[in-house]
Structure 1
Amino acid sequence: MKAKCIMIQGTASSAGKSLIAAGMCRIFRQDGYKVAPFKSQNMALNSFITKDGKEMGRAQVVQAEAAGIEPSVEMNPILLKPTTDKKTQVVINGEVYGNMSAAEYHEFKPQLKELVRNAYDRLSEKNDIIVIEGAGSPAEINLRENDLVNMGMAEIADAPVIIVGDIDKGGVFASLVGTMMLLTENEKARVKGVIINKFRGDIKVLEPGIMMLEDIIKVPVLGVIPYTKLNIEDEDSLAERFIQNRAEKSAEIDIAIIKLPHISNFTDFNALENIKGVSVRYVEHASNIGNPDMVILPGSKNTIEDLLFIRKSGFEKEIHRLYRSGTVIYGICGGYQMLGTEIEDPYHVESNMEKVKGLGLLNMKTTFQKKKVTTRVKASITDNEGILEGLKGMMVEGYEIHMGTTEYFENCASYLTIYSILGQNQEKVDGVRNGDVLGTYIHGIFDNMDFTIGLVNNLRKRKGLKEVDGAVKSFKEFKEEQYDKLADLLRNNLDMDKIYSILNGV
């Protein structure tokens, strides 16, 4: 028997679809249903590796966590990862299919309809409820033909639709009315209600507008969700995250992350943001880097282009200045590769350049390969010196997504050894250091709170500051609390009886 389903679409990107879908997953789970998320096509540089080594968008990972189930690529069968302004890496069922331009992908989409249908059907057979998320807006009339992610997906799943509008940006009534006007009659019939999201102020002032809106669009407003700060990974909030994470004057530890043009997996740093006394800021201009306690070079979807950006923008000079002053420099994945002496691209995986000089802070060389490494790992800290004092023997978990293999030479001290890859014992070096310059391929390393608190406390000791309490919740426990808060927020502000009626086809 197939699952019941409900679809969350939006008037635009960042309307709040991802979080509302996550909240619905949590509510249905709390109410005793077996629920799973689904998004046929996700465009994001923020990805995740499943237990079987497949790659998928993190938005559906968050929703799966909210639903209390293990993420699988059935929840996100198509992932698009922009590599340049004109090319995108297409990941199908968790594996790289190839790079395409927008025009090439548009021509390719009709071949994907059955793939999407099959993934959805497999998921539907195993669950009671599927919460489907759209992408962007269903009113992009130039993309209606061969649509697989908005009304095209609603048709595949025969799903009722709820449309979300963001009032915080202004124009929510116009955007909801305009969206409905641009839908076909069959598409309008699928829309069973709308939600107004991110409201600030007195609801009574809004009520006359709600009545007029319902009269125009002929479907009910199912609720008004107040603007609320929740610490949940949200692909749509990427721009807000970069704006909001400014240095706090009261923060005792300042961590600066280089905002690369092709930054990926920014969720690697969520755990750092939740440690008392730590300020995490994304730096766009070299002149603003200042004198942080730690600089992080994050992951990148185009490591070579982002390395050239670092060189041309003045960041390279600033990174070397901070290195000489004793600042901790930490590279993750692409940022790790940049710290080496050279990056080679013999197969032109990322660019037309055969090789490019690295930042030269780690004596290692990376060569890009044709096949992408996608795996979950467990590793052990094997060093006990400097910024790693007291951390030897700690276990960390995470995942790898990269195209390169790295060779290590003299003066590269191993500090991180993998002992398990996808459940199989296999020891290998996965992190090296040169004094206070460290790097690793492991995404999610900072989610391991014992390691992260230890690292932060070593930064604090260098400044003569008292250590923060090590008895903190695991990051997983913290996220569980946030999902429950999200569910409470939706229950308190949405007509859940009406939503259940929509789900049941009433």
Structure 2
Amino acid sequence: MAPRALMFQGTGSSVGKSVLVAGLCRALTRRGLRVRPFKPQNMSNNAAVTADGGEIGRAQALQARACGVALSVDMNPVLLKPQGMTGSQLVVRGRMRGQVRARDFQSFKRGLMPEVLDSFHTLAGQADIVLVEGAGSASEVNLRADDIANMGFAQAADVDVVLVGDIDRGGVIASLVGTQAVVADADARRIKGFIVNRMRGDPSLFDAGMTAIADMTGWRAVGLVPFLDRVRDLPAEDAADLRAGRGSGTQGVRIAVPCLPMIANFDDLDPLAAEDAVSLTMVRRGQVLPPCDLVILPGAKATIGDLAALRDEGWDIDLHAHVRRGGHVMGICGGYQMLGRSIADPMGIEGAPCTVDGLGLLDVATVLEGSKRLEDVAGHLLPEGAAMRGYEMHIGRTTGPDHDARPLIDLGNRYDGAVSPSGRIWGTYVHGLLADGGARAALLARLGGRSDGHDHDATVDAALDALADHLETHLDIDGLLAMARPVRG
């Protein structure tokens, strides 16, 4: 059977496309189909390391997991990782190609289409069906001329589209019907059906709305999807989805995380948020760091910029006061770099070449240079010996006495991270460390706490199964399969 493909575009950002595609990946895989996820262009600082040594957006990593297949750079050939208000790091087929300003990217992204199509056809060769996720809004007609993410890709690959709207935002009828009104006729003809997502309350109250949309557009109503609370167990891709209070516990270990502008790979926090005896607070700008047992400085796409933001908020003062009171601090990746004496950027990777003072909580120093390290790692936590696994995704070398005398992790062929002489400040380059139950329990024990022993991977897989069941109930999946056209070329 020739491979087929179907694309899911949205009326706007964050309407739930990524989660819907993940659920459909699991549902169709359970039906015995070979499924592959694909997103031509993504913008996210939450990324994952692939089996072929590159990086892709975290949403495509979750979708690949739903399919039960290894991650591949072809699943997300163009990834933009924002480093400020106007610029991003550009990753193409898993490899960094430098920095690009938003305006400049608009003018040359069309030249990336051949590589996008090559990745798409590579995946199609491995699949019965490819589920394609668009980016942002299908109605961004101001960007249509050079588009590779939505209708531009759909036309180039000859793929039909299902449009997704979010009823929880309000105005879903106008957003769906309005999309048909503003896009070019040829693009509108690509849209074959629509999904209304995140319905709260009695679904029958929107029966007339579904009929009205179908009548006004001529599109097939694929389904009305009620809100499903279990999706909270899935990793979020967008920092805007981070909730202020995420821990399930009201007593036990108190953890605070300052929300910095370029926070990255923040799904590191999910296993802690799921612990019964942990209260995890995301501290927004304008707030002080609350009394707590542990402050975590998470990954950062722009370490120097986020360190400046941390100081602008006065969080450096709060952090040093927390340490004087006997509190613990953990830095992950960019957060680890901030904890040292200094951060040097001689090549201007994050902006103008400079060297800035770090927080001085670890006796290490970082130099941002060299190629990006992208690899899965495994080893054990020191000194407990608890097994751990995770991945590294960073530019820079961090060295110094605290790393040499007291590394945090033994990776077998080398050591990672650093611990202060007091034992209360920890730094590591390893993302995903807290997903490992043994390592998480050992770190919580250092704080006088305990783990409930939950299996984070099992929790995510159970949520994917629940989502697939939900979509089988509320979507016409057979109708979606009938819309999927054979991949040409």
Global fold match (TM > 0.5): yes
> What's 1:387 paired with?
none
> 2:441 corresponds to which letter in structure 1?
I
> What's 2:476 paired with?
495
1:242 aligns with 2:230: no
- What is the deviation of 1:431? 3.9
Separation in 1, partners of 2:158, 2:351: 42
Tell me the alpha carbon deviations over residues 340-361 of structure 1, each in whole angstroms, 9 at most, x when there is no partner: 0111111111122521001000
1:129 aligns with 2:121: no
Separation in 2, partners of 1:429, 1:249: 31
Q: Given that residues 407 and 415 in structure 2 are in contact (C-alpha distance below 8 angstroms), is that contact kept between their aligned partners in structure 1?
A: no
- What is the deviation of 1:16? 0.5
Separation in 1, partners of 2:391, 2:418: 13
Structure 1 residues 17-416: aligned runs within 5 Å: 17-229=17-229, 230=231, 231-236=233-238, 238-243=239-244, 245=245, 250-285=250-285, 287-383=287-383, 392-409=384-401, 413-416=406-409
> 1:233 corresponds to which letter in structure 2?
P
Separation in 2, partners of 1:201, 1:415: 49
Could you tell which deviates more after superposition, 320-329 or 404-413?
Answer: 404-413
> What's 2:411 paired with?
418
> 1:495 corresponds to which letter in structure 2?
D
Q: 1:485 aligns with which of 466, 484, 487?
A: 466
Separation in 2, partners of 1:297, 1:429: 17
Pair 34,249 (structure 1): closer, same or farther in 2 beyond 3 Å? closer
Separation in 1, partners of 2:84, 2:240: 18
> What's 1:452 paired with?
440
What SS does structure 2 have at the residue aligned with 1:59? Answer: helix
- What is the deviation of 1:455? 2.1
What SS does structure 2 have at the residue aligned with 1:272? Answer: helix
Pair 86,285 (structure 1): closer, same or farther in 2 beyond 3 Å? closer
Pair 30,249 (structure 1): closer, same or farther in 2 beyond 3 Å? closer
Separation in 2, partners of 1:247, 1:336: 23
Q: Given that residues 417 and 431 in structure 1 are in contact (C-alpha distance below 8 angstroms), is that contact kept between their aligned partners in structure 2?
A: no
Separation in 1, partners of 2:255, 2:306: 20
Pair 256,158 (structure 1): closer, same or farther in 2 beyond 3 Å? same
- What is the deviation of 1:468? 4.4
Q: Given that residues 53 and 375 in structure 2 are in contact (C-alpha distance below 8 angstroms), is that contact kept between their aligned partners in structure 1?
A: yes
Pair 232,198 (structure 1): closer, same or farther in 2 beyond 3 Å? same
What SS does structure 2 have at the residue aligned with 1:369? Answer: coil
TM-score, normalization: structure 2? 0.95
Q: Given that residues 286 and 318 in structure 1 are in contact (C-alpha distance below 8 angstroms), is that contact kept between their aligned partners in structure 2?
A: no
Separation in 2, partners of 1:187, 1:410: 58
Percent identity (aligned) = 37
Q: 1:438 aligns with which of 408, 411, 426?
A: 426
Separation in 2, partners of 1:348, 1:296: 27
What SS does structure 1 have at the residue aligned with 2:122? Answer: helix
Separation in 2, partners of 1:138, 1:11: 6
Tell me the alpha carbon deviations over residues 172-226 of structure 1, each in whole angstroms, 9 at most, x when there is no partner: 0010011111122221221111111111122222112222221111112211111
Q: Given that residues 2 and 121 in structure 1 are in contact (C-alpha distance below 8 angstroms), is that contact kept between their aligned partners in structure 2?
A: no
Separation in 2, partners of 1:415, 1:88: 31
Structure 1 unaligned segments of length 5 or more: list them.
Answer: 384-391, 420-425, 462-466
1:428 aligns with 2:410: no
> 1:346 corresponds to which letter in structure 2?
P
What SS does structure 1 have at the residue aligned with 2:349? Answer: coil
- What is the deviation of 1:410? 5.5
> What's 1:464 paired with?
none
> 1:453 corresponds to which letter in structure 2?
A
Tell me the alpha carbon deviations over residues 11-65 of structure 1, each in whole angstroms, 9 at most, x when there is no partner: 0001000001111111110000110100011100001111332111111000000
Q: Given that residues 414 and 433 in structure 1 are in contact (C-alpha distance below 8 angstroms), is that contact kept between their aligned partners in structure 2?
A: no
Tell me the alpha carbon deviations over residues 438-465 of structure 1, each in whole angstroms, 9 at most, x when there is no partner: 010001111111111232244245xxxx
Separation in 1, partners of 2:8, 2:402: 54
Q: Given that residues 373 and 402 in structure 1 are in contact (C-alpha distance below 8 angstroms), is that contact kept between their aligned partners in structure 2?
A: yes
Tell me the alpha carbon deviations over residues 208-259 of structure 1, each in whole angstroms, 9 at most, x when there is no partner: 22222211111122111111112112325x323234x267782432211111
> 1:428 corresponds to which letter in structure 2?
Y
- What is the deviation of 1:98? 1.1
Separation in 2, partners of 1:374, 1:268: 16
Separation in 2, partners of 1:253, 1:405: 32
- What is the deviation of 1:504? 5.8
> 1:446 corresponds to which letter in structure 2?
L
Pair 502,403 (structure 1): closer, same or farther in 2 beyond 3 Å? same
Q: Given that residues 250 and 278 in structure 2 are in contact (C-alpha distance below 8 angstroms), is that contact kept between their aligned partners in structure 1?
A: no
> 1:394 corresponds to which letter in structure 2?
A
Q: Given that residues 286 and 314 in structure 1 are in contact (C-alpha distance below 8 angstroms), is that contact kept between their aligned partners in structure 2?
A: no
Separation in 1, partners of 2:350, 2:336: 16
Separation in 2, partners of 1:251, 1:36: 42
Q: Given that residues 11 and 179 in structure 1 are in contact (C-alpha distance below 8 angstroms), is that contact kept between their aligned partners in structure 2?
A: yes
Q: Given that residues 77 and 92 in structure 1 are in contact (C-alpha distance below 8 angstroms), is that contact kept between their aligned partners in structure 2?
A: yes
What SS does structure 2 have at the residue aligned with 1:491? Answer: helix
Separation in 2, partners of 1:394, 1:433: 19
Separation in 1, partners of 2:120, 2:251: 46
Pair 401,111 (structure 1): closer, same or farther in 2 beyond 3 Å? same
Tell me the alpha carbon deviations over residues 159-184 of structure 1, each in whole angstroms, 9 at most, x when there is no partner: 22111100101110010011111122
| Structure 1 ranges of 4+ moved more than 3 A | 246-249, 285-288, 428-434, 467-470
Separation in 2, partners of 1:250, 1:234: 23
- What is the deviation of 1:433? 3.6
TM-score, normalization: structure 1? 0.92
Separation in 2, partners of 1:247, 1:372: 32
Could you tell which deviates more after superposition, 178-187 or 165-174?
Answer: 178-187
Separation in 1, partners of 2:458, 2:451: 19
Separation in 1, partners of 2:390, 2:99: 26
